[in-house]
Structure 1
Amino acid sequence: MAYQGPAYGLSRECMLKSRAKFDMDKALQVLEWIEKVTDLELNPPNPERGFEDFVDFCDCLKDGMALCRLINRIMPGAVTKINKSVSPFKQMENIEMFLKGCLKYGLKSWDMFQVNDLYEKKNPYLVVNCLFSLGGLAQRNGFDGPVVGVKVADENKRIFTREQLEMGKTVLSLQTGTNRGASQAGMTPYGSTRQILPDRR
């Protein structure tokens, strides 16, 4: 990975906003969940260190091995080969395979993160959000292991008959409003000066 150097201007502003969204408590919950599901020790960051904790969080997961093992426990066979090499390319490939496994499992694209969000520590909060979404989806899909996040709601699809749909066209919604009182009677003509007159009683 090439050294990118310090960020300035708009890039620095975006970076600081992204880091401000990172919640260390949620990150620690996610790491604890991964440890319980995978039986791995991730050496989570020390919450007392402060602002740079997201670096330690990303370092715990950046090789992608724990993530691949996680998705394999939730959906066996999602990742067929986990790379154990320390090569950056192989580690990024692990993260990519985890993300593909999440999509197969049913996670929505808007709940995902990009490889660089984790590997280059660009948006660590997206990684945390993705793992929380995965935990919620696992609960809905009947995963019987440890859980994290809120269970994703089941779809409640409604089916209407043709008659019901036609009846809906005959009802004026409240957004339609009313034409009662829409008359311009008594108003001054367009373009004329405003008449401010005292009350005559």
Structure 2
Amino acid sequence: MSSYLNYNRYQQPTKQDQNANTNLDQDLSNSRSSKYQTNQLEVKKYLKATLSPHHPQLFQSKFSNDNVDLMDILHDGEVLCKLGALLPSSKVPNNPCASKFKNSKMPFIQMENISFFLKICEAIGLPHDEIFQTIDLYEAKDPYQVIITLMSFSRLANSIDSNVFSTVIGPKPVKVKPTVPVKPFKLRS
């Protein structure tokens, strides 16, 4: 009876037993980091193609070196605000990217610029689970989430104004939804 109540009756597997060098959190972080690295170039090309006709001086300063990390390019929010300002005012009235953007080295102004872009994303109907948080970009906490947001933004912006936002990046949305299989009679309530 005492062996049944003993909490040590089950041997907990150790790392050596599981042959694991990382935990789940580390595996997910590594996976998102590798996805960020593979998609970073596509996002840079999209930003350059979309913004260079309207803001050529921006690319002489921000995109002069191809080895610059995307997080460093977007860190101050300037590129994001210039991107958001291209949306037509009929779709986004009182566009904060167009009216409130400030170019500054002060951290709270830079974070405010990033938040202006996030407000634009909400205004055009980007799903909340695809929008990054300011800290994801500013402190590079989750760079892949920034890429997810920009991919979703490119799809929605293209549907709003395909002349300005001619390029779409990332996976394409499914036009035909798959059919849901019918439940067997035994499982219906």
Q: TM-score, normalised by structure 2?
A: 0.65
Aligned to 2:185, which of 170, 177, 184?
177
State which of 101, 109, 133 in structure 2 corresponds to 1:90: 109
Task: Give the superposed CA RMSD.
Answer: 3.1
Say yes or no: does 1:102 pair with 2:116: no
1:20 maps onto 2:34 in alignment: yes
Q: Select the structure with the greater relative contact order (CA < 8 A; seq sep ≥ 6).
A: 2
Query: How far is 1:177 from its partner?
Result: 2.6
Tell me whether 1:128 sits opposite 2:136 in the alignment: no
* Higher mean displacement: 94-103 or 144-153: 144-153
More helix by share: 2
- SS of 1:23's equivalent in the other structure is helix
Equivalent in 149, 153, 160 of residue 141 of structure 1? 160
Does the 8 Å CA contact 1:140/1:152 hold for their aligned counterparts? no
Asked if 1:81 is matched to 2:100, the reply is yes
| Displaced runs of 4 or more, over 3 A | 9-12, 14-18, 150-156
Shift of 1:105: 1.4
Q: After superposition, where does 1:23-62 map in structure 2 within 5 Å? A: 23-24=37-38, 26-39=39-52, 40-41=58-59, 42-43=62-63, 45-46=66-67, 56-62=69-75
> Post-superposition shift, 1:140?
1.9
Task: Return the alpha-carbon distance in structure 1 between the equivalents of residues 42 and 156 of structure 2.
Answer: 16
Indicate the structure (1 or 2) with the bigger Cα radius of gyration.
1
Cα distance per residue 1:139-186 (max 9 Å; x no partner): 222331231225656899xxxxxxxxxxxxxxxx8523359xxxxxxx
Corresponding residue pairs, total: 146
Identity of counterpart residues, as a percentage?
Answer: 30
Q: For residues 119 and 176 of structure 2, what CA distance do their matches in structure 1 show?
A: 23
CA shift for structure 1 position 20 = 3.0
Q: Distance in 2 between matches of 1:128 and 1:58?
A: 10
